[in-house]
């Protein structure tokens, strides 16, 4: 072999090496995906009628596939969170938006929050009564106000200034939520029903940005303007590009007291835990030992997805790049 062709061969091999290594790097950087939940609680395979389970599965699949299509087309994580949660809020199946549960006074007070992991910006609303899609208002607070958290009448005044769609309170009437209200009302000593249906979404987009959002009607028969964890950044929702995006569902008081969502991110940032390890510790050690119940979903900056709950079930679905959607309802699935 002539020295010239030897040099040429070495050069060609080097070029191929460069191309291959840049492909591997792009693949790992280009991961994307999302994970969603539709609440945790007494979701039992034995007692849930099959056609009801199918309705939940179909709606979760619709939402997760919609988000996935957006991600494929290069949408930003925050936009995906909002559109996916809008789909779940518009469905009467979940305790968010249309299907929100009733307060002790027979009204509906909705909470939602969103966080952008790229700049740690966040927006939240609590106790709104006439907003069709509270997650969209939470995004508006994040993007178009100097604040993070607006509540009640003030939040609705802000919404009207931003040209938001208002709905009559009758929009939130569903037979299911009303019956659940009547049931809890009758059980005077047990004021809060352990049945949840909050919705949440955590996204990693193609640019490596993370975002999380959560939307809820709160807990049936809640009183005194009670607000749970869902609109509280760090408790029910958290996102940080350095670590992960998290959305929670469950008995909110425990999630607030344990600063649940942020704790998962902090374990990853400061103790080098994986998203799975951090979720496991938070649910199975911390929440359970405090006596709390519920679940959580999370996605990390590499696209690893984690979810766990200490209730009989949690509505959940996820989809990662190149994979098909996975939808699950019960424990042990």
Which of residues 205 and 229 has its CB atom nearest to ligand ASP in the complex? 229
Catalytic entry in 103, 198, 214, 311: 198
**Least separation in angstroms between CB 117 and ligand ASP:** 21
Answer yes or no: 198 catalytic.
yes
Which of residues 134 and 218 has its CB atom nearest to ligand ASP in the complex? 218
**Least separation in angstroms between CB 19 and ligand ASP:** 48
CA 73 to chain centre: 21
**Least separation in angstroms between CB 87 and ligand ASP:** 18
Task: Summarize as ranges the residues that interact with ligand ASP (CB under 6 A).
Answer: 39, 95, 196-198, 216, 218-219, 228-230, 236, 249-252
- Cα 73 to Cα 147: distance, rounded to the nearest angstrom: 31
Contact between 284 and 333 under an 8 Å Cβ cutoff? The reply is no
Which residue is listed with tokens 């290069």? 74
Which of residues 113 and 198 has its CB atom nearest to ligand ASP in the complex? 198
Which of residues 79 and 193 has its CB atom nearest to ligand ASP in the complex? 193
- Cα 124 to Cα 122: distance, rounded to the nearest angstrom: 7
Which of residues 64 and 261 has its CB atom nearest to ligand ASP in the complex? 261
**Phi–psi pair at 331, nearest 5 degrees:** -80, 155
Name the residue among 120, 156, 316 with its Cα closest to residue 237. Answer: 120
Residue-wise burial string across 182-216, b where 16 or more C-beta atoms lie within 10 A, e elsewhere: eebeeeeeeebbebbbbbbbbbbbbebbbbbbbbb
Task: Report the Cα–Cα distance between both ends of the chain, in Å, rounded.
Answer: 61
By DSSP bridging, strand 294-300 and strand 244-250 are antiparallel
For residue 212, what are the contacts with CB-CB under 8 A and spacing of at least 6?
A: 81, 114, 115, 117, 200, 201, 202, 203, 237, 238, 239, 245, 246, 247, 261
Q: Which two tokens stand for residue 285?
A: 């050690």
**Least separation in angstroms between CB 214 and ligand ASP:** 8
Which of residues 213 and 250 has its CB atom nearest to ligand ASP in the complex? 250
Query: Active-site residue numbers?
Result: 198
């Amino acid at each position: 072999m002539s020295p010239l062709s030897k040099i040429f061969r070495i050069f060609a091999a080097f070029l191929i090496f460069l191309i291959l290594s840049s492909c591997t790097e792009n693949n790992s950087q280009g991961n994307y995906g999302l994970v969603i939940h539709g609440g945790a609680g007494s979701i039992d395979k034995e007692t849930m009628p099959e056609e009801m389970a199918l309705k939940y599965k179909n709606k979760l699949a619709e939402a997760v596939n919609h988000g996935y299509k957006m991600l494929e087309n290069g949408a930003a994580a925050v936009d995906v969170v909002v559109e996916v949660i809008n789909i779940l809020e518009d469905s009467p199946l979940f305790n968010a938006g249309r299907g929100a549960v009733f307060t002790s006074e027979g009204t509906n007070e909705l909470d939602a929050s969103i966080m952008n992991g790229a700049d740690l910006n966040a927006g939240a609303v609590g106790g709104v009564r006439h907003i069709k899609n509270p997650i969209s208002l939470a995004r508006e607070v994040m993007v178009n106000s100097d604040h993070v958290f607006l509540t009640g009448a003030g939040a609705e005044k802000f919404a009207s200034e931003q040209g938001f769609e208002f709905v009559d309170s009758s929009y939130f009437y569903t037979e299911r939520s009303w019956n659940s209200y009547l049931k809890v009302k009758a059980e005077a000593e047990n004021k809060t029903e352990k049945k949840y249906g909050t919705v949440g979404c955590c996204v990693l987009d193609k640019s490596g940005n993370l975002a999380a959002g959560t939307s809820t009607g709160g807990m049936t028969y809640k009183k005194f303007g009670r607000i749970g964890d869902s609109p509280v950044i760090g408790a029910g929702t958290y996102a940080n590009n350095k670590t992960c995006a998290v959305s929670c569902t469950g008995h909110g008081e425990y999630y607030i007291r344990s600063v649940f969502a942020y704790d998962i991110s902090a374990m990853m940032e400061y103790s080098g835990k994986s998203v799975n390890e951090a979720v496991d510790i938070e649910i199975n050690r911390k929440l359970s030992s405090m006596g709390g119940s519920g679940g959580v979903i999370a996605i990390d900056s590499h696209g690893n997805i984690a979810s766990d709950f200490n209730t009989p079930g949690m509505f959940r679905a996820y989809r990662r790049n190149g994979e098909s959607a996975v939808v699950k309802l019960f424990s042990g699935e």
